[in-house]
Amino acid sequence: MKSVSFVSLLFLGLIAGVHGGYSYPPMPLVKFYTKECPEARGIVQSTVVAAIKKNVGSGAALWNLHYHDCFVRGCDGSILLDSSNYGPAEKESGVPDSPKEIAYDIIDEIKYAVETICPRTVSCADILTLAARDAIAELGGPEWKVCSGRLDGFISYANESKFYMPGPSADYQTLVQKFALKGLTEMDMVVLSGAHSIGKVKCSVIESSLYNSSGPCGVDPTLDPTYAMELKAQCPIGSSNLVFLTPPDTSVNGSSPVPYPGHRRLLATRSAGNVPSKRYYVQVSGKNRKKGKDAKSNQNLKVRNSKGTLRSDRNLMSTKSGKALVYREAGFSEKDLASAADKENQPFFHDLVKSMEKLSTLKDPSSPGGEVRCNCRSINL
């Protein structure tokens, strides 16, 4: 059901103006709900685990939803609001990322369970932030510190999503600028692009790169031609199919990458194409190591066209600084590898933790206050 907002809230949204001054100061406490609702974090975690066990794609959907929420008005749960009589909400923006619908139902389930135990205590914004972290940890990725104490915002406009969210065809300069508006660095941008290591995208988003570009047979000249043929087989013209953002690695009997050392392993539910890993950067770079005794030499890296599924992914290779950061996250330079026992996904996981802690604490000081919603889809009346 569509929610109805007060006229005063619409007015507050109008006077908020263009958002700026995003910052990421520490949230109040890591254990914010220890006294008020000690069961909250356990409920979030168990619900997320059950959802991923049922549908492994839930993890990517939750991560994508959290990313979208924080990029518009900060991490305030505005992406969860339904459209009102005053216009379409953020969720109606049509931003063609990975499918997110399943994530809304998971957040609703968590909110209902938490409200039953601790009414009007745990915000939807905190629930979404915790759920995204727990999802990535469950899929074999790293855990990052999640502080709590966010309030839920009152305002959600689709046009703001279109303005602030970088699109799937964004060039490198635009990507850097969009992230800079949030106080995030060029490195943060490249690291957070690693979210495309999991999940799927609609064929309609990449159709122009496969059929309507300037390269041979209509293929984007920056896209690896062999990979383009694979995508065309999955995405005939006009298809509504979904394809992996980073294709599964079937080179080793379809096995998954080694999980982050010491991370919380709850279930053996990881599967190819749904495991956070530095493989995304290897694909985007168009490079592959030669096997054998010279595997560690950068001189033995063969350059190929990019296998980034989205044009924005391939555009990470369009500048010297972008290439350097992609190579770093791919682990091609031995000096950049972390000293952890498991170097399989380093330094990507180490950098991802730092960037996600920044992203998850973004705030917009121009937004008009907040509340703890009873229903994540509508403001309290």
CB atoms near residue 247 (< 10 Å): 17
152 assigned ligand-binding residue: no
User: Which amino acid would we find at residue 100?
Assistant: K
193 assigned ligand-binding residue: no
Name the active-site residue from 19, 66, 68, 350: 68
DSSP class of residue 71? H
239 assigned ligand-binding residue: no
Q: What are phi and psi of 20, to 5 degrees?
A: -155, 180
Contact 73, 367 (CB under 8 A): yes
Which residues have C-beta within 8 Å of that of residue 297, sequence separation ≥ 6? Answer: none
68 part of the active site: yes
3-state secondary structure of 247: coil
User: Side-chain half-sphere of 149: how many Cα atoms within 13 Å?
Assistant: 14
Element (H, E) at 289: strand 287-289
90 assigned ligand-binding residue: yes
230 assigned ligand-binding residue: no
How would you write 263-276 as a 3-class SS string? CCCCCCCCCCCCCC
76 assigned ligand-binding residue: yes
DSSP class of residue 223? B
CB atoms near residue 35 (< 10 Å): 7
User: Which amino acid would we find at residue 55?
Assistant: N
3-state secondary structure of 29: strand
188 assigned ligand-binding residue: no
- C-alpha dihedral, 134 to 108 to 42 to 371, nearest 10°: 100
The per-residue b/e assignment along 300-313, b for 16 or more CB within 10 angstroms, e otherwise, is ebeeebbbbbbbbb
166 assigned ligand-binding residue: yes
Binding residues for substrate: 166
Binding residues for heme b: 196
Binding residues: 69, 72, 74, 76, 78, 90, 166, 196, 249
The residues annotated as belonging to the active site are 68
Binding residues for Ca(2+): 69, 72, 74, 76, 78, 90, 249
